Every structure is written in C-alpha cells, then in structure tokens.
Chain A
Amino acid sequence: MKYLPLVLTNLFRKKTRTALTAGSFAVALFLFGILTVVDSAFQQGVDVAGVDRLVVLNRVSIIQPLPLSYRDRLARIPGVTQVTFANWFGGVYQDERNFFPQFAIDRETYRQMFPEFVLPDAEWQAFLADREGAVVGESLAERFKWKVGDRVPIKGTIFPGTWEFNIRGIYRGRRVQDDTTQFWFRWDYLDERKTFLKGWVGWYTVRIANPDDAVRLVKAIDEHFANSPAETKTDTEKAFAASFVKQMGNIQLLIMSIGSVVFFTLLLVTGNTMAIAVRERTRELAVLKAVGFSDGFVLALVIAETMVVALVGGGVGLGLAKLFTLRGDPTGGLLPFFYLSLDAIVLGLGLALAVGLMAGILPALAASRLRVVDALRRI
C-alpha cells in the first residue's frame, strides 16, 4: 500500500494520455460486453435446454407437421415419460416489426413439460377455461404494456384471419436466462379454426426417464416412425437449439474475430503508450534504482501502472455495457435474453488485466534492465 501513491501519481503525470489509454480499454471492454451479450442471447436456447427433453420434428423439415396420432405412439416408447406438442403460429401484432414467438400449445401437458416457466395456478386455470385464452411472458407483457384481461388481436400469416386472444396469465422464468418473450395459446383453438392440416402439430417434445439414455432413445424414436408417411428427426433439446443458432451462421466465430482484433489493437496501442511513458522517465527510474529500489520493483511499478489503467478503463467499459443491457433487448424481440452476466464481467476484467500485463511487460522489462550509470550519464 505504501507504494500506491507512487503508482497513482505517475498515472496522473500525463492526465490526457492516461485518460485516453483508459478510454481505449473502456471502449474495447464495452464492445466485449456487448458482443458477449449478443453471443449469450444467441446461445441462450442452448444454455437453458433441458437435459431430459428431446424434440421430435418431421424428417423433411421443421416446417412440415406431424400427425397428432404420434402423441400416443411416442408415449408408449419405453423410456419416454411425458409428451407434449406445439405449433408455430407466426402471426403479426399491429406491425411486422413487433416480432415475438407465438406457440399454439397442448394445454394438458405443456406446463408440466416446461416447469422453468412459472405462473400462478389461478391464471393457468383461467387460461384452460378460455378457448381464446393466452399466456404471455413477463418481458413480452412489459414490452406491450399488456396485463391480464387484455384482449389482443393477432393477424395470422400462416393461418389467415385475425385471431383474438384474452390474456389470462403472465409467466416468468425461474432463471434469468429463461425466455419470457413467448406468447402461448391453446392448440385446440388453432386446430378448430384452421382450414387445413387439421389434426397435425408442429413438433413434439418428449421427456425421457434417463438423460444418459438420450442417444438410444433418439434412434429408437426415429426407427419407430421409419417408413411412415411422416418420418421423424429427433434431437436433444440442446442440439435442436444449437441447430437454430447455426442457421444464422457462425456467430461465435464472428464475435471472436471482432473481439480478437479489438484486443490486439488495444495491446499495440497500450504497449506503445507505456513504452513512451517509460522512455520519458528513464532518468527518474534510474534515480529510483540508485537510491536502492530493485530491478524487480521497477518492473512491478511499470506493470502496476498499466494494470491500474486496464482495470479502471475496463471497469468503466463493462459498467457502461451493463448499464446498456439494463434497458433490455434493443432489437425489439430478436435477442430476448439481453443480459451481461457476472461471469462475463469477471472474464472481461480478466482479459483487460491480461492485456495490461502483456502491454506493460516489455516496457517494464526495459525499465528493469536499465543501467543506472547509462541512464544518469553522471550520478
């Protein structure tokens, strides 16, 4: 602690330079924070996927339906303990930009299959009792200022006409990552009103007794429906979610590439700045050594200065990123999980310190190897 004033006073020697260097860290770490948030948003479905759930789709494509009759056949496969199904609706609320996912769900089984979504029993009962009932996530309700009892018209794009729903419940997620932007309504209402594909569903979700048995069951299910008019393609819920992310391209590679370029540039800028700072103070560092400060101390002093700049700048950048995310999804529904986690903040600070260390090490080594007599010319 007694050396801290020495570190801090050196930093304030050139205030503008220190501010600009810290600012570089702040910008880089702000970008890191936002990129991490975007990556997490894309990966959110993968992260929260249930380990004991499989998704059963039509083998041809995700938009091809499966017969309702598969529900009972799936339930009879050994190892399957529960079955539910849902249908993509794809309607528009007021404007096409107001995107949010709408699912027609099986009212009897859906809630049990997804216990991570929580809502009061009374609201669920009200939903079951109303053919036009709907349950919405709390983020979605907040976005459109909906409350229980509101009547919401949605224009069908796949299923023509205007569909009116009564909001009977608002669910929340057990975990912060759980998607609370969904809109559920009853599949029986959809099936009753639609004019085609009656008795068909979008996909099934099945719960299995033992997650370790997933590979065998995936195969067993697909074999069970082989050579039928609607063959299936089964995956774990995690793999299913990951395939969605892959459809948008290699988001992680893109984010890693951008992040790497930013950090490498930061490393060069900071390294150059520190090299200049050390060169300007050659004489002072020599004096410190002359009066008895060791090479190791001088090394640590220069590195400590860089680390303080990195920590302060990085902290500001991550703080700003956190503030930015507190305002919620800026895309209007494309990134429902827009959240900067504590893990990401700790990782960001670690990266900032690592860059600070790497940027400071060469100038610090040069300072520590300085020969006093050469630097002073005369004592």
Chain B
Amino acid sequence: MVRIDGQGNGNNLIRARGLGKTYQRGGEAIHVLQGLNLDVDAGDFVAFMGPSGSGKTTLLNLLGGLDVPTAGSVTVAGDEITRMSTRKLTAWRARHVGFVFQMYNLIPVLTAFQNVELPLLLTHLSKAERRRHVETALAVVGLADRMHHYPRQLSGGQEQRVGIARAIVADPTFLLCDEPTGDLDRKSADEILGLVDRLVTEHGKTVLMVTHDPLAAERARVVLHLEKGVLVDTVTAGRAR
C-alpha cells in the first residue's frame, strides 16, 4: 500500500513526513521538495514520474540517505535516518539500500564479479561466502557466465544487469533505481524492467524507481507524479491495474 496523504498505518517500511528540500542559489531559495508525505510498504514497486526539475531524484536521494532534508523526516524500518550522523548513515546505506544508476556506474578496472562483490567487502563474510553471494546475484541477473568480463566487454544491458546484481548482492531492505533504462534501447530496457519485476514478484524486494518512460512506469504497481516538489496523485498501474 502506498499513500501520499500522511495517513499511513505506522507499519510501513518507508515513511516520509513533511519532507522538504531547499537549495540556495545566488541568494535565491529554490524549494525542490515541499512538505511531502509518503508511505511505502515492503514489497511495493513504486515509480516516480514527473517533468525535469520536479524533484524526483532529490526525493530518491533523501529516501536513500545520500542527502539530508531541509525539513521533515524519513523513517525506514523504524530507523529515522534523517537524525543519523554521516558515519551512521553510510553504514545504514550499506545495509539497507541497493542503488541502480542510469549510467550503471561500474568501476571499469574491476570485473563483473569484483564490481558485484564491492558491497560485500563491507561485511564480515569470508571470501568463500562472498563468492557464493556474488555468484548467486549474477545468476539472478543471468550473467553467471560473464562474471570475469570487464565492463568494457559487456553490452549496455549487461552492464546494467551487473549494476542490479551489485544492488541486490547484500540483500538490502529496498532498491532505488534512477532511470535504470534511460540509457538502453527498447529491447534491453524491457529485459531490465523484466528483471526488476522479478525481483519484486519472486524475491519480494521493495523497489522505488524514477523514470521518464511510461512503458517502464507501467511495470510498477503504483505510479506517483511529482510536480514542483509535491506528489500530486497516485495511480495504480501495470499488473496491479
């Protein structure tokens, strides 16, 4: 269940209350997000749409603990992340958030295996355990046979799959995807969206995705529209419709 009216039941996985973000630019205050409320349950697949500059990415940054709000709070699984120190927030991100970037952002000098292994280096897992987790993640995205390839040896779609494997390998609480198909052709985009869909339906992952692509948004269970820093409506979309 996704709500934007601030009337969530208190058991939601993600809860934002009165969320605001203001930037100062040349003495002028730019209100990117204003008093935003959001409740997302575990297992939800939410797409955020809206014109450029509407605050979609800023919202994702705040929900993922990459940025701090000017006003309001974000609580994830009972932890109010907006009150955490930078150090705690970094550790929290490692444990709870999987990021999927539009430009994949793989490290070019590392193989697919090593890229996926990165988040696990922060854990106490042994080398053998890390290997097992990485192989499983790469198998989920269908790249078990490409684990020793470098990013330059992979297609765009394959690179994004590696990015997704990196996001899920540490079994985070939820995934944040920013335009995950924005740099892909239609066929590759459909494959990636199918993969994200499977993560939700088969593996019970919670996914929050920013997209400009209506076809991508259709895959989500709920589509939220942002305009001038405010969530304006909720549309039940895709399979759930």
Contact = CB atoms under 8 A, between A and B. Distances in A.
B139 interface: no
Contacts of B122: 291-293
A376 to B, nearest CB: 7
B99 A295 contact: no
A12 interface: yes
A290 B93 contact: yes
A290 B87 CA distance: 12
B46 to A, nearest CB: 15
A13 B178 CA distance: 28
B94 interface: yes
Interface residues of A, number: 24
B176 A293 contact: no
A295 B90 contact: yes
Nearest to A287: B105
Interface in A4-23: 5-6, 9-10, 12-13
Contacts, number: 73
Interface string B83-113: 0001100110111000101100101111000
B121 interface: yes
Contacts of B67: 372-373
Contacts of A3: 121
A378 B178 CA distance: 7
B60 interface: yes
B119 interface: yes
Contact of A372 (B66, B102, B121): B66
A243 B185 CA distance: 82
Interface string B114-135: 1000110110000100000000
A12 B111 CA distance: 13
Given A290-B99, A291-B93, A378-B179, A373 B107 contact: no
A283 interface: yes
Contact of B105 (A10, A13, A283, A294): A283
Interface residues of B, number: 31
B231 to A, nearest CB: 19
Grouping DSSP codes into helix (H, G, I), strand (E, B) and loop, the B interface class, with mixed when no group exceeds half, is: helix
Interface in B48-65: 57, 60-61, 64
Interface string A273-288: 0000000000110011
Nearest to B114: A5
Interface string A119-154: 000000000000000000000000000000000000
Contact of B93 (A10, A13, A283, A292): A292
Centre residue among A6, A287, A290, A292 by max chain B CB count within 10 A: A292
B166 interface: yes
Contact of B61 (A283, A289, A379): A379
A379 B176 contact: yes
Contacts of A327: none
A291 B119 contact: yes
A379 B66 contact: yes
Interface string A356-379: 000000000000000011001011
A6 to B, nearest CB: 8
A2 interface: yes
B109 A9 contact: yes
A294 B119 CA distance: 12
A6 B117 CA distance: 11
Given A287-B107, A291-B166, A293-B122, A379 B90 contact: no
A76 to B, nearest CB: 79
24 contacts: A2-B127, A5-B114, A9-B110, A9-B114, A13-B109, A287-B101, A287-B105, A290-B99, A291-B94, A291-B122, A292-B91, A292-B93, A292-B94, A292-B119, A294-B91, A295-B86, A372-B66, A372-B67, A373-B67, A376-B101, A378-B57, A378-B179, A379-B57, A379-B64
The 10 tightest CB contacts between A and B, nearest first, are A292-B94, A9-B109, A378-B57, A287-B105, A379-B178, A13-B109, A372-B66, A373-B67, A291-B119, A292-B93
Given A6-B121, A372-B67, A373-B66, 19 more contacts: A5-B114, A9-B110, A12-B109, A13-B109, A287-B101, A287-B105, A290-B66, A291-B94, A292-B122, A293-B90, A293-B122, A295-B86, A372-B66, A376-B101, A378-B57, A378-B101, A378-B178, A379-B57, A379-B66
Interface of A: 2-3, 5-6, 9-10, 12-13, 283-284, 287-295, 372-373, 376, 378-379
